């Protein structure tokens, strides 16, 4: 990921953290050590699985600076970890006022718009032809919203339970 991609992900993370804190009074990084460590670790794990299945297995996208090769960059997994924070915060803002059935699609639409629009002007990844269709991208973003919000909660709870059990 080029410097723009790193600054972009960090900037969106900080912006979403600030917005979540202003709207709900809470944010991922203010939620307690075990929670934010769990969210970062769980998101990184989910991101790794997505990279291995979608980028390597299905050949859905390639990173622009990979020169046509499939590869994980040193920044890829930490970026997925921050992406989980972004999705958690965006969902928290919408869920503060709206029911789940509305908050999830709005989360997907908002972050899909932010990331895909930015990717059009400053390409960080490219989808292969069969994955460029609007309905495929929309379904993918809905899936990401579900996995990185409500799907992440049981993973974080399990990691917290293991941490408490190991540390007594």
Write the pLDDT tens digit of every residue in 134-160: 899 999 999 999 999 988 878 777 777
Supply 140's token pair. Answer: 């993918």
**What angle, 0 to 180 degrees and rounded to 10, lies between the N-to-C axes of helices 76-95 and 100-121?**
140
Smallest Cα–Cα separation from 83: which of 122, 118, 34, 134?
118
27 within domain boundaries: no
Q: Which domain holds residue 116?
A: 32-167
Q: 62-71, 74-83, 118-127, 147-156: which range is least confident on average?
A: 62-71
120 within domain boundaries: yes
70 within domain boundaries: yes
Listed in sequence order, the residues at least 6 apart from 146 whose beta carbon sits closer than 8 Å to its beta carbon are 104
Whether 62 has a pLDDT exceeding 90, the answer reads: no
Look at the chain and report how many structural domains it folds into.
1
Sign of CA dihedral 118, 122, 127, 129: positive
Which letter, b or e, does each residue of 65-77 get, where b requires 16 or more Cβ atoms within 10 Å of its Cβ? eeeeeeeeeeebe
Smallest Cα–Cα separation from 10: which of 34, 33, 29?
29
13 within domain boundaries: no
Query: What is the value of pTM for the model shown?
Result: 0.88
Write the pLDDT tens digit of every residue in 102-144: 999 999 999 999 999 999 999 888 898 888 898 999 999 999 9
């Amino acid at each position: 990921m080029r410097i723009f991609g790193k600054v972009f992900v960090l900037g969106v993370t900080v912006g979403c953290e600030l917005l979540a804190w202003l709207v709900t009074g809470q944010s991922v990084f203010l939620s307690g050590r075990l929670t934010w460590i769990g969210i970062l670790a769980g998101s990184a794990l989910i991101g790794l699985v997505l990279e291995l299945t979608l980028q390597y297995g299905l050949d859905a996208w390639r990173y622009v600076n990979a020169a046509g090769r499939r590869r994980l960059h040193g920044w890829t997994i930490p970026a997925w970890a921050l992406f989980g924070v972004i999705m958690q915060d965006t969902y928290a803002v919408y869920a503060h006022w709206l029911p789940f059935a509305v908050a999830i699609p709005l989360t997907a639409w908002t972050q899909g718009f932010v990331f895909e629009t930015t990717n059009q002007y400053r390409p960080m990844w490219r989808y292969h032809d069969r994955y460029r269709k609007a309905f495929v991208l929309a379904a993918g973003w809905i899936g990401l919203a579900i996995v990185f919000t409500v799907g992440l909660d049981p993973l974080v709870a399990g990691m917290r339970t293991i941490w408490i059990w190991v540390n007594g």
